[in-house]
Structures are given as C-alpha cells and as structure tokens.
Amino acid sequence: MLGSYSPTIRRLRFLPLALGDSIVSIPHYSNQENLKGIVGWGLKDDTDRAVALAKQKELPYYSIEEGFISSLGSKILKAETFSFVSDSKGIYYDATRPSDLEQLIIDCPASNQARAEAAMGRIVAEKITKYNHCWEGIDLPETDQPKVLLIDQALGDLSIRYGLASARSFEHMLNHARQTYPNAIFIVKLHPDVIAGKQRGYLSENLPDDLLVLDMNCNPYELFTKVDHVYTVTSQMGFEALLAGRKVSCFGMPFYAGWGLTEDFMNCGRRNVKRTLSDVFSAAYLRYTRYVDPISGKSCDLERILDLIETHKRMLLKNSGKNFCFGPNLWKKGLWKKRIIRRFVNGPQVKLYFVRTVREAEKLGIDSNSRILVWNDQLDPDVELLAKDLAIEVQRIEEGIIHSLGLGLDLVRSSSLIVDGRGIYFNPQKPSELERLLNKAKLDFKARKRARSLRQAIVTSRISRSNRIKHEVLVLQKREGQEVILVLGQVEDHDSIRLGCVDICTNFELLSEVREKNQDAYIIYKPHPNVLSGKGKGDIPKEVITSLCDQVALDQDMDTCFEKVDQVHTMTSLAGFEALLRGKQVHTYGLPFYAGWGLTLDRHSIPRRQRKCTLDRLVYCSLVLYPRYYHRDFEYFVEVEDILRSIKAQDCKQIPLVDFFGLNQLYRKATFILKNFKALLANA
C-alpha cells in the first residue's frame, strides 16, 4: 500500500485503481513499515513532508497528477477524474529535472506508432480534450488577415514556474507575436478558471484594446480550425494544437517542447533528440498515463476512454438547445418522470422547460429551433398545432427496452430512454424511428458481430426489460413429446395493447385462442407481475385459468420459463422479443415492434414493414441505435453493454412476485423516494 498526507488524494476514488494499490493516511496509519511508497500531488508546497518521509524511510516517492484526458467536466464542475499520471523522477511539467515522461519520449519504442496515429486521429476528429464538457465553437471575424491565438494561463500555475517561464514570458510572447504578424488579428484564449471568476490570468490583467479576448468557453479544436498560429507558454492546449496540425510557438518548456515539434524560445539540454508527434503522443497518452474505466471500475486503455467520451458527446449534442416538455403533470408519477427526463435531456448547452400549455411555452420563448417533447404518445391537439406552425417535430419519449432493475410501478430509476421524432416503437398505427432503422439501416460486419455479442450477453446474464430476478424451479407434468407453449399475460390497459392489438385485446381472449388452436399442447400461462400485485388490469379468475391451461407460472423468471418451452404466444409483450433472443418460436396476436419482419409467426401484418430482417438486425437497431443509455451512478451517457454490465453487477433481492396488500411495492417506492428526496425537491 501507498501512504499519503493529502486528504484530497485519498478522496480520489479511481486513483488506487490506476496505481494498482491502496492509499492510506500516513498520520493515521500505525504500521508504516508496510508502505511500498509515498504519493503527493504534483509539486505543490504541501508535498514537502511527503518527500521528506520518503527519503527518511528510503521509500520511492511518486508525484501524482491528472492525465491529459482527465474527465467529462472541469474541476469547477466537480467532475470525477478517471486518468492519472504517476512519476517517480519528477512530473511532466517540471523541466528543471528529468521525469519519467521525458525518459519515455527519449526511449521511444516504435511498436506503438500505429496505435498512436489511430488514437490521435480519433481525438482530433471527435475534438476530445482534457475535461470534455465543452463542444461548441465560436465565431471569429471573417477576414483574410492572419489569425494568431495567444493562450493565457491561470496566475500561479506551477507549470509556469517549473516550465522555465515567468510572468515576463507572457509579455515576451505577446511582443513577439506582434512583431512577427504586424497585421494579424490576435485572439487571447482565457483559462476556464479565469472565465469562471475563480482565478486571475497572466495576459488578462493588462490587455491592449486591439486584442480579441475570448471570455467564454469553447472547444479548443473548434478554435484551432480558425487560426493560423498558436502561441503558448506551457499550456497543454499547445500540444492539442500540434495534434490539430497548427504551428506552435512555446515561450516556456512544456513536456512537448524541445523535441523539434515546436518553435522554442527556451532550451532544455536533456532534450537533445528529435521526435515525431506520434512519438511524444505515444509516450504521454499511451504509456505515461493510467486510465480507469469509470463504469467497470477497472484499469483500461485510452481507447476505452475515447469510446466513453464519444458516446457521451454524441448524446449531449443531440440535447443541445431549448427543449420544451409538455407534461408530465406533477401528480402520480410526475416527479419520477421529470427526474428521468432531466437525466437524459441534459448537458452544458441544454435548456429544459416543463410546461403545461402552449401559452406557457410561448412565454418562455419557444421557436423554430426548439424541440417539443411529450411522454409516450400523449400529444395534445394544441401542441400538435404549435409544432406545425413552428415546423418542428414532436419527439415522443419513453423508457427503453432494457432499462432498469425492477418494475416501472416501483419508481425504479431508468437507465435507458427512447426519443423518437417519428412516433414511438409500441404504436404500430403510425411510423416510428425504429421502423425506419429496421427498413433502411445498413449493418457492416462490425455491427453484426456486436449484435451477436450483445444477444449472447443478454441471454447468458438472464437479463430482461425489468430484470426482477427470481429463479424458482419450473416443474412440468407433461407427457413425453408433448409440445410446450408459454402464453404471456399483459396489463390490458397498457398503451401497447390499446394501440397494438386488433381483435384479441385481453389475456382471456389470448389464452382462449391459444387453447383452441393447440388442443394437444401443454400450455403454461404467465400472468404479468403488475396484474398479480393488483396494480394492473388483466386478471383472469383462477377457475377460468385452470380450464384453459395446464400450469400457471407465478414464481419463475422469464428465463426459467423460456428454458422449458417450445413456443411463446403473446399479444405485444416485450417478453416476446426476449424469447426471440433465446431462439424460441414466437407467435404474435397483436403488432409489437418485433413482428412483421419475418422472425415471428404473426396473426396480423403491417405493410410498412417491408424488409425481412435477421435477428442481428433486430437486436442492433432496437438495442443499439434506437435508445439512449445513461449510467445513473456516474452520470455519463453510455452504450447498452455498459448498462448490461451494471445490471449484472447489482445485487438484486429476491422479492416475491405476489404482493399482499401492496406492502412490498410500497416499500420499494418509499426506498426510491428516500434515496432521491433531495433530487426530487430540486427538480420539482
């Protein structure tokens, strides 16, 4: 284990995972003989005690800092850091002495070059930087004059002092830029902490009036595309400018200077070899930095971090702008639904308004650049007319197909949401975005492989939509060779029944039809859990059930039932989709989203569904492309595989399906409310 004096270091949840060892408090840890080393944060003044103790105990000392791709938000936003550097010689921004990074750049093994080039390309294309909370660009004057970017830094930044620079270096930088480009437009990029009012800057104190000052956050790569030359003292933005192909001049000695990549105004005698950009990148981002997957809590590589950031960014950009959600009301499940919507429609450039009337939305400034959101398919005629007048689409929102650990009636926090600008997947009366994807999307080999892996993960982990796990044995009293059919009960007043059924609309009608057409089969009827608990319509009297089926499955999960049956019959249940994933023959009596594609035996047809789909296509479109996924513990948008791993990792208590007097459900609701009380009040 490692020792530290710093409470801040010990609060960094992912740091021990990055270092591969636990971190204990030196003042409170009695057996210091067991320590393998001492850690401190960078070159801060309060690390002197830690360095002295390491020398006294003859232990290695490690300087810790955030990695070059650090988090999904700034320190001001209190974003959790998922990458770190650990240096046994110095620290990367200290040019006054050697560091592990400096040695890695000198060593420069060629084996990492192809990987480095690929990662660099992704970073530039996706505009990935250190904190990754700002993706928007900024408008600059349209002119033929050269544009020179001057990067300011926070006053007292240690990389200035240890980067062979000082406050005068910024004056030198500005004067040199003016002399080199007498007719240029000079743009000063303030440090984010200066913009937030938390710090002062070097350049921002006494700037001439003819300089253009960027006093708002913007993505560095968006800025690099609009300038010709970047001037910096020691900022990491200088290296990002190199990645973007810009000429960079350094007036201090950052880690990327001295290798022949930059115009340097300082000198470091140890850096006496030429290195390519991919050499420096490989050393800094691939070998020097240690990454932790915030979802799995395990050590990972840079590529996994890039995957996470790209997914999060894609969803944030979909949300940007003004979003007007008509409803849900503040009664019944209103607060719960608002909490879900706030989770999925969020981001630094997002404005979300919950409104009840068109007039209220107009007062708040709804316009043609806004979005209209409605829960489910509940569209008020006035809202529909407003959407037509403004020529904007209405986006229906609903929980995703795989979304939680528990039932919706229990107010369980959802992990996925569907935002559909055409319709909604369970309403076959009109087209939906899922239908369009299934008809038109092209799947390459990588997508098909991913779909197969996803299906296998769902089946082997026994994951379903609500994931309320209870594994009771299902014993059948059937004859040898008798075909076994599972009939799925549903909540009869659910929208998927109301909108998706034609002639058979009740559990009784479904069970009667299946028995009439399959006189010799062994029929198992599985009631819906919400019906069993008395919270949903669809109960069939016991004496009627026993006359129409051979067995009722009350205390078995879906997988236990699927393992015993040959066929599954349903009106529109999502469990029919789950049965398809497990290779079962599925008969549909309504029009669920998975019917009409050649994978099921259907009582009715939908002419719009023109394509014969493979199971891989159905899985990829409905679980990968269609929903949004959000990891509620870490507050990142993620992929479906991350949610599956999260569900699998959770401890699920075996709650009886039969809920006498509703006490179990009341308990689960109370638990949810207590856990989310502050958030519910804040978002009311």
Q: What is the pTM of this model?
A: 0.86
pLDDT at 8 over 50: yes
Asked if 160 contacts 151 with a C-beta cutoff of 8 angstroms, the reply is no
Tell me what pLDDT residue 635 has: 82
Residue 11: CB partners within 8 Å, gap ≥ 6?
none
- The kind and range of the H/E element at 4 are strand 2-4
User: 343 to each of 316, 477, 614, how far by Cα in Å?
Assistant: 11, 48, 33
DSSP E strands in 51-178: the ranges are 61-66, 83-87, 147-151
Helix locations, 518-562, DSSP H: 529-532, 542-548, 558-562
Q: Residue 197, by phi and psi: left (phi above 0), alpha (psi -120 to 50) or beta?
A: left
Tally of CB atoms within 10 A around 558: 26
- How confident is residue 338, by pLDDT bands cut at 50, 70 and 90? confident
The number of residues in the chain equals: 684
DSSP string across 338-369: HHHHHHHS--TTEEEEEESSHHHHHHTT--TT
User: 631 to each of 384, 455, 493, 647, how far by Cα in Å?
Assistant: 32, 20, 31, 10
Q: Report the side by side order of strands in the sheet with 321-326.
A: 350-355, 321-326, 371-375, 394-399, 416-420, 627-631, 636-638
The one-character DSSP state at 161 is H
CA 649-651-653 angle, to 5 degrees, is 150
Dump pLDDT digits (tens) for 17-56.
999 999 998 877 667 778 999 999 999 888 999 999 999 9
- How confident is residue 527, by pLDDT bands cut at 50, 70 and 90? very high
Asked if 613 contacts 442 with a C-beta cutoff of 8 angstroms, the reply is no
Nearest Cα neighbor of 26 from 54, 55, 65, 68 is 54
User: 624 to each of 250, 313, 582, how far by Cα in Å?
Assistant: 45, 16, 18
Q: What is the CA radius of gyration of the chain?
A: 30
Tell me what pLDDT residue 655 has: 41
- How confident is residue 199, by pLDDT bands cut at 50, 70 and 90? confident
- Dihedral of alpha carbons 671, 677, 678, 682, sign: positive
Dump pLDDT digits (tens) for 348-388.
788 999 999 999 999 999 999 999 999 887 788 999 999 99
pLDDT at 654 over 90: no
For the record, the structure tokens of 225 come out as 């595309």
Cis peptide before 627 (omega within 30 of 0): no
SS3 at position 116: helix
Residue type, 328: P
Task: Encode 557-577 in three state secondary structure.
Answer: CHHHHHCCCCEEEECCCHHHH
Report the distance separating Cα 346 and Cα 368, nearest Å: 20
Residue with tokens 């009012």: 197
Tell me what pLDDT residue 209 has: 81
